[in-house]
């Protein structure tokens, strides 16, 4: 009996060492949390949108649906060039307009007579989606697609029968080209009718064929439109939102809600910020000299990825079927600027301390976790303590103007207000250099350059004890 007691005691001690003592258990999730697919989607951060179709050749943004399929005839379409450009630009995937509002399908759909099959491109034997999906696999990119439910060509559009037609086309795409990381929808239906879209049917179709696809629309359910086409999320941006009473399109939530989410939202629906490199979504020769500048792209990056949203940047191919050289060059310049600004994290080897730490063996929740480069470790204060601070002490004085923070969102989004301070070397006093509301997956704040060796981040308000898993200084 005594031996059994000794063995039991040894087992309990071992388990406590491995998992932390009883009062150091893992914090409970707070509110809604992302699915594994949503978490992987958020980690992508930045990917390419491709608008391509008859509008490319007619110089229109919205086609009428009455275009002759013969206008679609790219002379040198090269999806490998699209993919290699995206890869070199630092993007993680591509979403293509498989079917825009004009109803033209970039694959030979059996549910339409307005497709690449009816075009002269490759004598009607081509399939843009097949070529792009193959190129994405080759360049280790994720493949996504956009099917507009609005169809200005199909004769059944506007009837209940059309829902089955659209679901059939959707199933066709989702079952033919391999994994789809995001299914992009909008609620467009024109000004002359409020189309009776069967969103439940559409969502079931996606889930049946691509259960891990994140579904985009004004109200998700996987991710939401950010409320503008400028690529800018709100200064406050919750990944939580309420959707009761709303549908995509005309009956979507107010733009302010789309832009900022809901503090106590019941569903996890993070924001995606879409914007085009050019003034329009489709290629036009008239915009060859109107690309966004590097400064504009950096402002967009900081206003999207830097505010807890993913960035979907549209880069439309020209009439040859290739991304123009000028557009590609701008993407590379944009990448170089990001690398220049975020190349040296001066907090990487810094000493960290905290005003409060949740109990646990081996500093399981200690402040050292915020600089250890591991996504799944984090600092958190004592139970029930939602206001707390941590301090970063550098080896020497450094000049910096940017701070990057991340919450451990697998357990929910918590932080509602924080400030960043540093010690002024001239008088030894704390000075506030930045402040913000939400953090979420990632928050980047910029400020006038300061020189200091000690930085403090104070969480002033949070719905639950904060979980901070990364802080970087540049």
pLDDT at 363: 79
Whether residues 332 and 461 share a domain: the answer is no
Give the model's pLDDT for residue 188.
Answer: 82
CA dist 75 and 427 (Å) reads: 67
120, 234: one domain: yes
CATH code of the domain in which 357 resides: 2.60.120.260
Whole-prediction pTM: 0.94
Tell me the pairing of strands 93-99 and 46-50: parallel
Regions of the chain where pLDDT drops below 50: 1-23
- pLDDT at position 189 is 81
R_g of the chain computed on alpha carbons: 25
Residue 24 lies in a domain: no
Residues 324 and 195 in one domain: yes
Query: What is the pairing mode between strands 271-276 and 415-423?
Result: unpaired
**Calculated CA dihedral for residues 423, 425, 427, 433, nearest 10 degrees:** -40
Do 263 and 356 share a structural domain?
no
Q: Are residues 297 and 260 in the same domain?
A: yes
Question: In this predicted structure, what is the pLDDT of residue 187?
Answer: 82
Q: Does 6 map to a domain?
A: no
Are 386 and 318 contained in the same domain? no
Q: Residues 281, 381: one domain? A: no
Domain end: 341, 363, 388, which one?
341
| pLDDT of the residue at 13 | 36
Among the listed residues 76, 91, 73, 99, the one whose alpha carbon sits nearest the alpha carbon of residue 136: 91
Residues 195 and 244 in one domain: yes
Per the CB < 8 A criterion, the answer to whether 86 and 332 are in contact is: no
Residue 112 lies in a domain: yes
Instruction: Number of helices (H) and strands (E) in the chain: give both, helices first.
Output: 10, 16
Residues 89 and 221 in one domain: yes
Q: What is the rounded CA–CA span in Å between residue 292 and residue 56?
A: 19
* Domain containing residue 133: 36-341
Residue 122 shares a structural domain with residue 221: yes
CA–CA separation, 76 and 82 (whole Å): 12
- Between the two ends of the chain, the Cα-to-Cα distance in Å is 61
Number of independent structural domains in the chain:
2
> Domain boundary residue among 274, 309, 341?
341
- Tell me the CATH number at 178: 3.20.20.80
| One domain, residues 304 and 363 | no
Is 19 within the bounds of a domain? no
Paired tokens of 366: 């200690």
């Amino acid at each position: 009996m005594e031996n059994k007691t000794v063995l039991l005691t040894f087992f309990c001690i071992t388990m406590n060492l491995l998992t932390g003592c009883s009062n150091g258990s893992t914090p409970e999730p707070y509110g809604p949390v992302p699915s594994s697919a949503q978490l992987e989607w958020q980690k992508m951060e930045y990917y390419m949108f491709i608008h391509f179709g008859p509008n490319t050749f007619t110089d229109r943004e919205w086609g009428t649906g009455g275009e002759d399929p013969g206008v679609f005839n790219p002379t040198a379409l090269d999806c490998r060039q699209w993919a290699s450009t995206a890869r070199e630009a630092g993007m993680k995937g591509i979403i293509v307009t498989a079917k825009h509002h004009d109803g033209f399908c970039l694959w030979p759909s059996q549910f339409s007579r307005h497709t690449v099959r009816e075009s002269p491109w490759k004598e009607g034997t081509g399939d843009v989606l097949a070529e792009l999906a193959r190129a994405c696999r080759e360049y280790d990119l994720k493949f996504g697609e956009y099917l507009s439910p609005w169809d200005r060509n199909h004769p059944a559009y506007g009837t209940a029968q059309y829902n089955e037609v659209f679901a059939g086309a959707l199933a066709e795409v989702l079952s033919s080209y391999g994994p789809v990381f995001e299914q992009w929808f909008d609620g467009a239906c024109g000004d002359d009718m409020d189309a009776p879209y069967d969103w439940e049917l559409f969502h079931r179709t996606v889930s049946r064929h691509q259960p891990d696809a994140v579904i985009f629309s004004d109200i998700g359910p996987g991710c939401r439109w950010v409320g503008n086409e400028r690529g800018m999320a709100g200064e406050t941006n919750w990944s939580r939102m309420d959707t009761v009473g709303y549908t995509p399109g005309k009956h979507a939530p107010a733009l302010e809600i789309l832009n900022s989410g809901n503090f106590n939202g019941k569903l996890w629906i993070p924001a995606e910020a879409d914007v085009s490199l050019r003034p329009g979504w489709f290629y036009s020769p008239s915009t060859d000299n109107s690309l966004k500048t590097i400064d504009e792209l950096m402002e967009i990056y900081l206003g999207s990825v830097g505010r807890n949203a993913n960035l979907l940047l549209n880069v439309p191919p020209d009439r040859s079927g290739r991304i123009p050289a000028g557009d590609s060059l701008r993407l590379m310049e944009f990448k170089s600027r990001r690398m220049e600004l975020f190349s040296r994290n001066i907090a990487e080897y810094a000493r960290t301390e905290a005003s409060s730490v949740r109990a646990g063996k081996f500093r399981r929740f200690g402040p050292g976790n915020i600089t250890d480069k591991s996504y799944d470790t984090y600092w958190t204060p004592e139970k029930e303590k939602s206001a707390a601070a941590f301090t970063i002490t550098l080896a020497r004085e450094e000049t910096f103007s940017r701070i990057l923070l991340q919450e451990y969102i697998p357990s929910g989004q918590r932080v509602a207000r924080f400030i960043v301070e540093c010690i002024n070397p001239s008088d030894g006093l704390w000075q506030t250099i930045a402040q913000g509301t939400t953090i979420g997956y990632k928050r980047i704040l910029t400020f006038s350059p300061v020189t200091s060796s000690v930085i403090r981040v104070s969480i002033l308000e949070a719905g639950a004890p904060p979980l901070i898993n990364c802080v970087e200084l540049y």
